[in-house]
Amino acid sequence: MKASLTLKLDQLVRRLEELNALLSSENATSDMDEYRRLSREHAEITPVVERYREYKAAKDDAQAAKDMMADPEMRAFAESELEAAEERMEALELDLQKLLLPRDPNDERNIFLEVRAGTGGEESALFAADLLRMYTRYAERQRWQVEVISESPSDLGGYREVIVRLAGHDVYSRLKFESGGHRVQRVPETEAQGRIHTSACTVAVLAEADEVEDVVLNPADLRIDTFRASGAGGQHINKTDSAVRVTHLPTGIVVECQDDRSQHKNKARALAVLAARIKDAQMREQQSKEAAARKSLIGSGDRSERIRTYNFPQGRVTDHRINLTLYKIADIMDGDLDELIDALSAEYQAEQLAALGEEMAA
């Protein structure tokens, strides 16, 4: 194990001892906010320290086996013990490196998922609806809540644009690599000649912003327009100016919401989406700066990048970032995304481990 890693782990051992003393003191709960913060830190550090203790125990076992080799009668047994201890040490060191990787602060957040039709006209809008169903089915499998925030239907039942809010455990963590261009190759329902067409949609995964901490919206920077909602909704929704359009003047970001009869609710939803978009833009700017120093293919968050192709005639889905092809398109379109998501997460973790190794070698 590298000295830099050992130094960091020894620091965590000392910090855990400090936290144990602080949390067991008589006045530990006098400041409940501080108590909760220390408790969270304690919960984060404890598994790392426990694994480090296992590593040191395996290291002691390895040393004992080496000492045992001096006895010719015990040599064969000692070699077997040494091999087992070194294998444990290797596995535990990898576990420790993974535990020390910086955790994405947004991983626990809920998200706004935006799907927009791109090139391909009506077929692209229909594919947008298919993608929305895919993510909705996946959300159902994860027992997440799904709420439609805004939708712009197409003439044949697709979507020119649709925004949904997904709420639950680890939503951003599981879906954060879905942002980008999604391409479909298939024979459209509107194609009379049976020719295969290529269409595209853009998916954006936006971490929901905290109302107070993350994004401060200055009222002077906002232009808020109300207008009469269009589309289905009955007589009431078409007779009142319940729809809301919010424009963020410094960035030019525009959000419309007209899905609720209440102007107040539409405004609140639009502002929430706006805050998430501004937060996302800030995150992508930071990621692009990091990518200038070290290219992170998966975590780049580039909306213009084509990340995945869905080829219906061949029954395959290919993720171009990790060159993974799965021949189970029906299952994937029905929300069976775990194999794709797990592969992307593993590759991203490998990138992080490689970066950690470079930092420790420097």
Contact in structure between 136 and 164 (CB atoms under 8 Å): yes
pLDDT for 348: 87
Strand 111-117 versus strand 145-153 pairing type: unpaired
CA atoms of 100 and 356, how far apart (whole Å): 9
pLDDT for 293: 44
pLDDT for 235: 41
DSSP labels for 42-82? HHHHHHHHHHHHHHHHHHHHHHHHHHHTTSGGGHHHHHHHH
Assigned token pair, 290: 């990091």
Amino acid identity for residue 357 in this structure: G
pLDDT in tens, 143-168: 999 999 888 899 888 999 999 999 99
DSSP class of residue 101 equals S
Class (C level, CATH) for 3-100: mainly alpha
pLDDT for 212: 45
CA atoms of 324 and 7, how far apart (whole Å): 38
Assigned token pair, 124: 């692209």
Domain ranges (residues) in the chain: 3-100, 111-350
CA atoms of 355 and 362, how far apart (whole Å): 11
Assigned token pair, 16: 């855990």
- Enter the CATH code of domain 111-350: 3.30.70.1660
DSSP class of residue 219 equals G
pLDDT for 237: 44
Strand 243-248 versus strand 222-227 pairing type: antiparallel
pLDDT for 273: 86
DSSP class of residue 183 equals E
Can you list the alpha helix ranges (DSSP code H) found in 248-320? Answer: 263-293
- 183: β partners: 200, 309
Question: How buried is residue 24: exposed, middle or buried, by Cβ count under 10 Å (0-12/13-18/19+)?
Answer: exposed
Assigned token pair, 173: 């963590």
**Regions of the chain with pLDDT less than 70:** 211-214, 230-241, 286-304, 356-362
DSSP class of residue 213 equals T
